[in-house]
Each structure stands twice: as structure tokens, then as C-alpha cells.
Structure 1
Amino acid sequence: MNIHRHKWGLVVAAGCLASCGVLQEPGPGGERGGASMELTVDITGGSDVSGFLFEIERCGGNGERIEARRSLEDLRIPGMIPTLEDNPLDRSSAHLFSDFFTVAEPGCYDIRVQPLQANGEPSTQCYEGRATSVQVRAKQTTEVLIMSQCEADHTGTLDVIAALNQPPVIVSMEYSPSKFIFECEEVEVCVTARDVNADPMRFEFEQVGGQALYMGPELVREEQDGELARACMKAAPLWNGTYEFRVRVYDMVHENGELVRMEDFVGRPSHAEMVFPVHTNWDIELECYDEATGEFHLLPGVREIQRAPGCNPIWPAQFYCSPYKWDDVARTCPGGVFQPQEVYPACDEVLPAGN
């Protein structure tokens, strides 16, 4: 038998036409009609296709039309069939297919193949295919191969980068004017930290011990240059005593357009921490009393105290004329009147002449 083969790289199945009589699908007893089919599930094909609906009609729509359903075959093509290898499918390829063979009068035909699901509905993953103007010749079999293109279950790529992160380390602390200050005096503490990864750093200061502050702790400065970052906080105590503060330095990372703590990003601690004290004195011992003016002055050589605006320390009269258990009120405040000369040296004894 002479075989005339056409190939369409269009969209759906494999079908066959053969020359002879009227376009028909012979049924049981010779009657013309559609053939029933049992659709099988395409387990290994990676799609929802179980078979095909074949539709064949004369070119231009003039003439009879035939429809047939066919299940997927239990094998694949080219399947080591020499005439199909590399024609057009590569000999190592493996494609599921359906086959429909019928007879037709010589002439021109249009063919449509629709991939079907197991329930007979059109496939949602694979497209129909068409071949137009297929010529059927007398005494020849015209074989048509139509490819049904399916959508892929698209994949993505996964690129995993493992990076090391070291937490910041505090490398120095500075007090200004001193770790020992006076009531209402402002103290500034600057902390320098290093992050070997040069991540952005954030500083947080908080009071963890001592009496209530008059002011602070307040972050007043923060700067970073490469691996080193420096931040300063300011505070002012109201009472004498020891105050404790804690600084934490966090390395930061970008997430959703914001800087967040690295330790929140990775789920493990990543910060430096230090608790440090500030000691506050009552500055009565550093003052003298000027009887001529009735004023108090710092002793010569004592640094000028920079008190927080609006903060007033405990003045001597408030202290010495209060009935604390260690006060000698009878001596310092006889009759309830403060006698500063009893507590402070005379300024003329400690101040240079002319002051």
C-alpha cells in the first residue's frame, strides 16, 4: 500500500485518513455513526488528557462530517517504529497519542482534534489542533500527525545563599563630664560599637536601676562609618545616688522596605549589651557661703556644673532644716532658721582676694 504522510506542527493528536467511498465511520452492522469510548486516566502523561475527539469534514464545510472519540493508546510513539523515528519525532522521544482510522472519498478535508478529560470535557491543560486542506488520494492512505500542545506546570528556580552574621561588639564608652556628677547635672555617655559585617547599627538606652531621673535617658546622637558606629545618650538625675543604665546595640537588615533587627530576621540573638553606672553626688561639700552676699559659690577649682534646664537641686536650707534622723536641727537650724556658716566654710577663707 502506498502511504502519503503529512505532518502538522499544530495542536493536538494523531489521526489517519484512508481513501475509499463516502466519508463515514462504520459502526456495528455497517451503520454509520459515532463510536463510544472508555476514557482512561493519563497517569504518566503529566496532563488531564485521557483521549481525543476527532472531527473531519470536507474543506469549506460542504459535505458530511464525522466525529469519533478515541482513548489514549497504551504505548507511545515513535516507539521504535522505523518509519516514525525522526519523522518528525526524534527516535528517543515518547509521546502519548490516540489513533483514528477511517475511509473517505478522495478530496480535500479539514481536521480538528480536541483533547478530552476522563469525564469527556475538553482538556483544561492541552489545546485543540487543526490540519486544513488535507488531500486524500485514491488508492492511498493519507496519514496525518497533529501535535497537541499542552501547558506546562511551570517551575521556578531556588538559589540558596548561606551567609555568616556576627553580632556587634561594644568597643568603648565615654562619660562627659564624668561618671561622677551632681544633682540635676547633665551627663552624656557615648558608646562606640563595631560590626565586622558593617551592617547598620541601632542603639537603645534605658534606665535599669536607681531613683527616678529628672531627664532621660535620651538618644542625642547616632552616627556610623563602615564597621564603627557611635551613639550618645543624655540624662540628668534629681537625687544623689547611683543610677544604672543599659545600652543595647543591634545590627539591622532590610525587610519589606524597612530596617529591622537582624535577630528578629534570623530568629536568634544578635546584639551587644552593656550595663553601666552613673554616680550622683550632693554638691554641698563643694560650696562655700559668702556672708557678704548671702550666696553660695563653688569652691575654687571646681568645674562649672551644667544643670538640666528647670532642674533645681536640694538647697542646703531644704536639707538641713528638715527633720531627717541624721540632722542636727538644733545646731543647724535653731529656731527653724538655717545657719549656713555652721555648715559651709566662709567664702573669704577659701576664695582669693577680690573674688
Structure 2
Amino acid sequence: MALNIDLIGGSDVAGFRFTATPVDCDTGLPTGDPAMSAEESLEQVNLPGDNSTFEKKPYDPDSSHHFSDHFFTVAPGCYDIEATPITGDGDDSLDCATATLYNETVYDDTFNEFLLISQCRGVARTALDVIGTLNHPPEISLEIDKFMCAGAGVVACATASDPDGDPLEFTWEGREGECFEPEVISNTTDPETGEVTECVVIPSRRAKSLGYKVTVRDLAWENWCLTPIEDILPEQTGVDFDASESQASIKFKTHALADCTPAGMAFIGVTLGADLCVVDGKLKTDDSMGMKKSQATKLAKNAVDYVNPNLLGDPDPRILVVRDTVNNEDPYEDEYIKARLEAAGFTQVDLIDEPVGGLKRYQTISYSVIWFVNPGYPINNKKTYRTLTKFRELGGGVIISGDDANQNQDLQPPNWYNMETFSFMGFDDTATNDNPNGTYTCGYLTDQNQGKRYIVKFDAASPLASGMGDLTFPYGNDIDRNYALGLGETVGATTVGLYYPGKKECLVDPVTVMTTVPAGTVLPSP
């Protein structure tokens, strides 16, 4: 199990081991049925004390606590519910005590949620929910991270199977009078088990707890149409069967939190591919004019790992690659980045063109990372800029790449689109011995892979260089004259000269090419 760590109290806790043991409701003694157990890492967001909608006994309104959360799918009855704090190695914590609730009743056809508080040494505290849900034929289970930032969203996935192998149909609905139109993002069938998994995006509009219900029904053919069996059975004769048993439902809640931490950012001031072209249906890069494919793959993985807001809990996040369509200087760069991400092992990568009206917030729901590919010019769309900044504020990781991406020229008004927000780099429009855009250096052409080449070197201590064997690469396109602001960012790579005899000294001051910005770090207000 991958685990996070307790940053608030400094304890050794990295997660919880949950156990639910069936007991006799009258005596409280174990029934002998097997206990259920699961381990979960600490969540990336904290549990606020003023959310009384899901806690039986809320913390103080000004409090904030680490927590873990797990769904159990169980039969109605009574259970002893135990939460044991564990370390990153899975051992019992030495700093925080095990919390147990005895003989708790899980009711039929309702949402059951329990809060356990583990007392720690010093000021450390933590809490968790344990959810019991009901399972009827066809069988159904649910996977969801219920907690999200207000204005963001999560993905809920229901998995169902039918003992008779009937086809299945899912219905998602909002409860408590909330309008809810689910966006189905996938519906897949396991060819070996026959299990069907359907995933939907559940958005949040404000800090609030909301209830939902997912129902699965088995289907049969009626008048050439697949129809729920429960709608057909009442029309039959000689059947001693309750039609409602042909469906199964799970009720659950999501909790949108208001106090989220901005995620990390990575800014890559070059393209990952060089002089890209398609040969025999495959993208080819010229590594004499840019980084090697192996370097680009490692850089893509390191960048996503760095900005992923829940790396330990979800090392394969949903990634949205967005191509800036204003300039077509590097037409295959977005496809190349997607290919490098997939080569790095990421399996949930989507690619879209930036919409004409700009990237909208609803298009970012359920993604953990957005990679904005801007190969020619800076962001020129107010809507996209605001969506990216808001996405990060709500806890999403942002990556921006492109060798002209940090400029603020010709953008009106500049405060709408100041790229320092993402790069933590200034653009030096007073650069001498060359031009600020970097198309000429020391009087030589350094642009369009047609002149001299820069030497770029990764900083070995940068998270972008993790596991990178070769730390240097040539670059035959222009590089903006950027400089680090020194406001909490880490420099990931710089220029160290030109591939031209006697001209290395013309770049005496290294030009900042890449940066990383830690989670929670933002530019000071002007």
C-alpha cells in the first residue's frame, strides 16, 4: 500500500488499517463470520471541524485534521469497527492509539457512516469514515474518493456483476433535491469475470455534502429492446418472485471542502520533441536538436509525479493534455507529450485542442493533472488562464511547456495573463548580446533548428532530473531569456552555453529553462 504521512502532528502515522467484525446484535459477541480489513493512506486534504453534515460529533469549527476513508460493502447487521493507525511500512503506530466502536448497527437500505478519532501524543489528531453499503443481486460495489475541493470534482466507479450473466444497466441520481446530470466517462466489461464497471464524473459547485445513489438493473430482451427485468416480471404469470430483487443500489455522499492547498507546478521552457515528423506512422524526434526520447520520457514522468496532488495514493492520475491552437510552430508536440506520458506508464491520458472560447472549468473536472502545451506563444485566452489558475487553487497539478511560453508580450491587460503565476520566472526583455526571445545568441541564429544549438543542463538536485542518466541535451530552437524569481521555486534546468567553439562564454549568466513550484507556494499579492 502506498501511504502519505502525518504532516500536522509529526507522528509516525501514514494511514489506517480498518477492520469490520460481524457481531451478534444482542450479545455483542463475534458471530464467527470472517472480519473484513483494508488499509488506506492519509488523504491529501484535511477534514474541517465545522462540517457537521457527516460527523456524529464534529470537531471544533476552527480545527483541521488528517484522516483516511474507506468503503466496506456489507450485509445489514452489527459490527465492531476498528481503526488502527499504521506507519509507512504497515506496522502499528507507536504514536497514536487504535480507535474502536463496538456493536454498531448497519441498517438496511440506508447510508451508514461512522467517525472514529484516534488520540495521539502531542497535538496530532486524525479521523476517518467507515461506510457500510448494501449489496443485492445483481451485485454492486463502489469506488470513490468522496472528498474533493469545492468547485472541483471526483470520479465514482460502480462495478456490478450478475449471477446469471444478464446484461446490466446503471442509473446515477442525485438525492436531497440536487440537480445532477452524470457524465459517463467509461463503461467497460471484464472479459474474464463478466464484471461491468461504469465511471462517472461527480462535480461540486460549492462547499457542501451531497448524497447520491447508483442503481444497477439486470436486463432482458422485450419487444426487440433490452428492458430491466423488474419491468418485465410483473407482466409474467406463474412467477413467485419480487421484482425489486432484480436491482441493487448503493447510496453514498461526497463532501466538498473549502480549504484546499494549491498543488505543485512544473514549467518546462522548451519542447520535449525536436523537429518532429511522422515516419511510417510513428513520431520521430531529432535528438541532435533536442533531448533524447529517453530524456523526454523521464522528464514527462518526473513532471507529473511532482505535480500530482496524490502521488502516493494515486500514482496513475487522470491527465488532460491541452494544445494551444493559436500557433502551429510545433504541430506534433502535444501528441509527442502524450506518447511520452504513456511510455512512462500513465494509462489515463486525454488530449484535446484548446477550445475557441478557452478552456472551461467543467472540462477539467476529475483530472488530477493538466499539461498545457504552448509551443509558440504565451496563453492568450483569458478563460484558459483563469481556468488553469483556479484548477491549481482547487488542488490540481499544472504543467506548462513550450519555448515561448513565459512571455507576457502583446497581452492586454498583462495582469490577466502574467505567466509568472505558473513559471515563477521573469522574462528579461532587456537581454543584451542577443534578443529576449532567444532567436539570436551572440550574433548567431538559434532558432527553428537551423542555426547554432544551445547546451541545456538539468540540475541534478531537481525533481525533474530524478533518475535522469544524461543531464545535458542540445536545443536548436529559441529559448526565452528567463530568470528565476527566487520566491520558493526550484530551478530545474539552465543553459550552459552554445555548441560552437569559443562561444560558450557568450552565455556567461545561465538562462533559467525549467522550474518546479512546491504545493502551497503562490506568488505574493501585488
TM interval, short-chain normalised: 0.3 to 0.5
| Structure with more of its chain in strand, by fraction | 1
Normalising to structure 2: TM-score of the pair? 0.24
Which of structures 1 and 2 has the bigger CA Rg?
Answer: 1
Q: Which has the higher contact order (CA 8 A, sep 6+)?
A: 1
